[in-house]
């Protein structure tokens, strides 16, 4: 995970006078203004996304189908308009990415098949222990499970389930579009790629604090438990956000983070405590350890930029004068 570090672009540094200031290289108004515009744009996007969930007044809980349908409408509108924020950012800063806006946001065909498969495979390797636990606790065998998964009737049932659509389709697509595809291109010229990996998820983590409002409103637990749950969720989503930001930068595609997000939503947080008390505890814990070990071993090879072609964010930073961005090789 050392590659996740990095020195960034050092926009505010003046220790290398022989190098042209990056704002000048980009034709922008200056590094200070560029950073303020970037942070304000990201904050506006995060607030718009979360705020859109509450434009509908309802006394129903968030998992009610009627509430989910209304929120689908809101987040889809905000997500559809989010590229306009990137376009406005580009006009205000004068930054010229050297590629189209959609390409910069991860919508491109070059390298799309490895970008869809390899990050998902990497994430499944990380969840090797939970997948083993799921198979051990499943009453059906592998053949029966595959029949259920591949049956058209099962998919038809899923597509009419509002909670399934929210967790597996709408939330992964819209959250990755807003919090990765739109925010990372705006943050990277200000912070550099390495710091952007950790800065971008903060907006994502804080955005999930809105669940406190509904939990307090419906008194689903004690106040202390609700806030502890919110802190845990912030930590988990921030770490996950850093991971998908890393995938977005290293592959230059949005599809990988979306698929990984959907898979993680399906799996949930690993039930480590249940694994410790499982009748087959030893092989299960070995699976957990093996999954984490293989994940760390394969993280760099399976996200090697050479597998995915030219990376739009790396092209952006090369135009800024940073030809040695740590995540671009």
Catalytic site positions: 175, 208
> Terminus-to-terminus CA distance in the chain, angstroms?
14
Do 187 and 8 touch, CB atoms closer than 8 A?
no
Rounded Cα gap, residues 182 and 265, in angstroms:
21
Token representation of residue 173? 């697509």
Rounded Cα gap, residues 146 and 141, in angstroms:
9
Q: Which DSSP symbol is given to 21?
A: P
Diameter of the chain measured on Cα atoms: 67
Nearest Cα to 263, choosing from 156, 106, 119, 63?
119
Do 79 and 174 touch, CB atoms closer than 8 A?
yes
> What residue spans of 97-192 are helical by DSSP H?
101-104, 112-126, 128-137, 142-150, 152-159, 162-165, 171-176, 183-191
Residue with structure tokens 């003046």? 14
* Torsion (CA) 145, 149, 150, 156 in degrees, nearest 10: 140
Rounded Cα gap, residues 306 and 315, in angstroms:
14
Buried b (16+ CB within 10 A) or exposed e, 271-305: beeebeebeeeeebbebbeebeeebeeebeebbeb
Rounded Cα gap, residues 105 and 256, in angstroms:
13
Neighbours of 192 (CB within 10 A): 23
């Amino acid at each position: 995970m050392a590659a996740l570090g990095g020195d960034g672009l050092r926009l505010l540094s003046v220790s290398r006078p022989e190098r042209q200031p990056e704002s000048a290289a980009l034709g922008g108004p200056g590094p200070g203004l560029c950073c303020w515009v970037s942070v304000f744009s990201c904050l506006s996007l995060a607030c718009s996304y979360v705020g859109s969930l509450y434009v509908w007044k309802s006394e129903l809980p968030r998992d009610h189908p009627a509430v989910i349908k209304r929120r689908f409408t809101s987040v889809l509108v905000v997500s559809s308009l989010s590229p306009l924020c990137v376009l406005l950012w580009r006009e205000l800063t004068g930054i010229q990415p050297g590629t189209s806006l959609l390409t910069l946001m991860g919508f491109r065909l070059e390298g799309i098949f490895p970008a869809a498969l390899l990050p998902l495979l990497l994430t499944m390797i990380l969840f090797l222990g939970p997948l083993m636990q799921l198979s051990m606790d499943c009453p059906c065998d592998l053949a029966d499970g595959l029949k259920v998964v591949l049956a058209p009737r099962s998919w038809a049932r899923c597509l009419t389930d509002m909670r399934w659509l929210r967790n597996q389709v709408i939330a992964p697509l819209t959250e990755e579009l807003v919090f990765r595809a739109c925010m990372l291109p705006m943050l990277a010229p200000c912070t550099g790629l390495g710091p952007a990996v950790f800065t971008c998820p903060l907006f994502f983590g804080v955005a999930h604090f809105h669940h406190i409002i509904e939990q307090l409103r419906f008194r689903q637990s004690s106040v202390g438990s609700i806030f502890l749950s919110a802190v845990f969720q912030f930590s988990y989503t921030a770490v996950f956000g850093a991971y998908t930001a890393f995938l977005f930068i290293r592959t230059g595609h949005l599809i990988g983070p979306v698929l990984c997000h959907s898979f993680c939503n399906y799996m949930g947080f690993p039930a480590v405590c249940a694994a410790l008390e499982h009748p087959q505890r030893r092989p299960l814990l070995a699976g957990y350890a093996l999954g984490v070990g293989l994940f760390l071993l394969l993280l760099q090879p399976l996200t090697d930029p050479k597998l995915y072609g030219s990376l739009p964010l790396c092209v952006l930073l090369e135009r800024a004068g940073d030809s040695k961005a740590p995540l671009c090789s």
